[in-house]
A = this chain, B = another copy of it.
């Protein structure tokens, strides 16, 4: 039985060159989640997202679509805007020499260019493909992207009852972690560590009771509540109505899904939490964690969400600490791949996706 699955070799977590190639394959050759459409409700609203050193403008266009552009002027390359979020008054103007673009990226004005030879149509903003699933904004840097629906597979149908499109932003916490992004995915994909690392969480759900599945483009499962627990909060109590549309079964569990590569989607009976992962270096990842609630709840005068936020912030910090310790240990010359238990089956499946995707970048198989 020496064919039992083992963890990946250290280079997948510690080699900067491999990291660079891997990011190309995972973040620039497919769909990634950049945030939520309700962050840009009106034409001209925008936010920036940084992906491996690239600044991307996500903006609501005049036609109501969400568009994505590289934050680079076509004149002399200047970054067009530097505020993390804001509003463009109808057009995007470069602060250096005033080249001006429409919200659809077309070049509208270029002062002092020779009108006899200069064609405005030659210099639109560099565009990325953008699409939306139930309020989640995805972008794709590939020149010939496959439809988002292919990557999402059966997820839209499966999560229809949660009506994610209706939910609205309430709170964001950003974390800066000294660990490879894949260790964060792996940590999210198993609860074998819950009894020791998360005593509070472990009182609410049964770490043995996960219902897991691994697909080519996503991975995850659900966990039912223990005893009287009704949601994930410090005491397991639910302080908000159930999301409308959930069945009895859906009210009694939490769904934890990773949509590769960077969306961790946690659907609770009464709220949605999402993590998006932003790799900054082979050993560093920025994590944006956000909580979303139903507008009917948010409108209530006594709306409160501290129970959910405090609970997950505590759990997050426990997780980030341990993945940082994993990063440090894996970088050791003494590290060798170790054995997975059957409770870590999703990790072995994720590792296979990692190996395959890196193989397309020329990485040799670990031959384990």
B77 touches A332 (CB 8 A): yes
Q: How far is the CB of A263 from chain B (nearest CB, A)?
A: 23
Q: How far is the CB of A337 from chain B (nearest CB, A)?
A: 8
Q: Report if A114 contacts B (CB, 8 A).
A: yes
Contact digits for A85-102, partner B, Cβ 8 Å, 1 yes 0 no: 000000000011110000
Q: Report if A237 contacts B (CB, 8 A).
A: no
B196 touches A77 (CB 8 A): no
A117 touches B4 (CB 8 A): yes
Q: Report if A330 contacts B (CB, 8 A).
A: yes
Stretch at the interface among A68-76, A220-228, A360-368: A68-76
For A54, the chain B residues whose CB sits under 8 A away are 332-334
Known: A111-B192, A322-B78. A126 touches B96 (CB 8 A): no
Most B CB atoms within 10 A — which of A112, A197, A322, A329?
Answer: A329
26 pairs, CB–CB < 8 Å, chain A vs chain B: A1-B117, A4-B117, A53-B331, A53-B332, A54-B334, A55-B328, A72-B329, A72-B332, A74-B338, A76-B326, A77-B329, A77-B338, A78-B322, A78-B326, A79-B325, A80-B329, A95-B197, A97-B196, A98-B195, A110-B341, A111-B341, A112-B341, A112-B342, A113-B341, A114-B341, A123-B339
Task: Mark A residues whose CB is within 8 Å of B.
Answer: 1, 4, 7, 10, 53-55, 70-80, 82, 95-98, 110-114, 116-118, 123, 126, 192-193, 195-197, 322, 325-326, 328-336, 338-339, 341-343
